[in-house]
Amino acid sequence: MVLKIETAGFRSLMYRSGWLYNAVTRRLYDQDKKFSTIATFIGKGPKKVLDLPCGTGYLMRFLHPAIEYEGADLNHRFLKRIRKKELKKRNIKLTKIILRHKNIFDFQDYQGKKKDVIVLCDILHHIYPKHIDLINIAKKIANKIVVCEPYVINPKEISARDKLFKIVIFFGKHLPKPLLKIIDFLLLDNDGINSFQMRSQWNLDEKSLKEFYKVMGFNNVYKILDEYIAIWES
Ligand SMILES: C[S@@+](CC[C@H](N)C(=O)[O-])C[C@H]1O[C@@H](n2cnc3c(N)ncnc32)[C@H](O)[C@@H]1O
């Protein structure tokens, strides 16, 4: 039997280190508030939660201990960081923790059939134009989906938490596309899985992201800094 392990291509600096990824995203977004809000929507008590993709496992810090958590990501460095550092350092103790080095679209490989909650955080803009497929597949096996996405914003309105990042983003948005592509490839959102060509077509602003959520059947939209969280229930 040949075992096929899916690998990713070249990743930017940010996706090569879980520590750096957390450091950058904490300066851009209110990660603690965002993930604790997502955890509140998941709720307390025994529940099966599938986190697609789990990234550096930040969500686990805020989950109720009775939860059975399953996360998948194709970034083996992020998964290694969770296994070696995150769980011990944060003293994370959930009823069950399963981490998979998997493509998020491989739904047939997730444990059991039904999930109480599927979390889709900061992923839709990475997988454009397959974002609708992911939501529709998730709907088939989840009782609840919690989605969270940043919206593309006018540089003047960027509310990155850190002043330095505000300036970097302000000038970054005005760079010519070929230069932006190189910077993205080496330093920014290049996850090694989804191409810049596709990712850069995601252009939902505050209004259209809300509209998109509504069309896809998501309600209860909450704004946290430059991101929107919304809920779908079966
Ligand atoms: C912006 S991060 C979000 C991670 C996490 N949900 C969070 O909010 O911190 C995007 C992640 O998606 C992963 N990813 C992108 N496409 C994927 C795919 N098709 N299968 C598995 N992981 C994928 C990348 O490896 C990266 O860790």
Each residue's pLDDT expressed in tens, for the chain with a length of 234 residues: 444 456 678 999 999 999 999 999 998 888 999 999 999 999 998 999 999 999 999 999 999 999 999 999 999 999 999 999 999 999 999 999 999 999 999 988 887 779 999 999 999 999 999 999 999 999 999 999 999 999 866 555 666 666 666 677 777 767 888 888 888 888 888 999 999 889 888 889 999 999 999 999 998 899 998 899 999 999
CA distance 61 to 83: 13
Q: Whose CA is nearest to atom 5 of ligand 1?
A: 55
Alpha-carbon distance 76 to 80, whole Å? 6
Q: pTM of the full predicted structure?
A: 0.92
Residue partners of 174: CB distance under 8 A and separation at least 6: 155
The rounded Å distance from CA 61 to ligand 1 centre is 18
In terms of CATH architecture, what is 13-233?
A: 3-Layer(aba) Sandwich (3.40)
pLDDT of 158 reads 64
End-to-end distance of the chain based on CA atoms, in angstroms? Answer: 39
Domain ranges of the chain: 13-233
Give tens-digit pLDDT for 123-181: 999 999 999 999 999 999 999 999 999 986 655 566 666 666 667 777 776 788 888 88
What is the whole-number distance in angstroms between the Cα of residue 66 and the centre of ligand 1?
25
* Geometric angle at alpha carbon 223, from 117 and 221, rounded to 5°: 50
State which ligand 1 atom lies nearest to the alpha carbon of 119. 6
Cα 191 to ligand 1 centre (Å): 7
pLDDT value at residue 159: 65
176: exposed, middle or buried (Cβ count in 10 Å: 0-12, 13-18, 19+): exposed
Q: What is the predicted pLDDT for the residue at 35?
A: 98
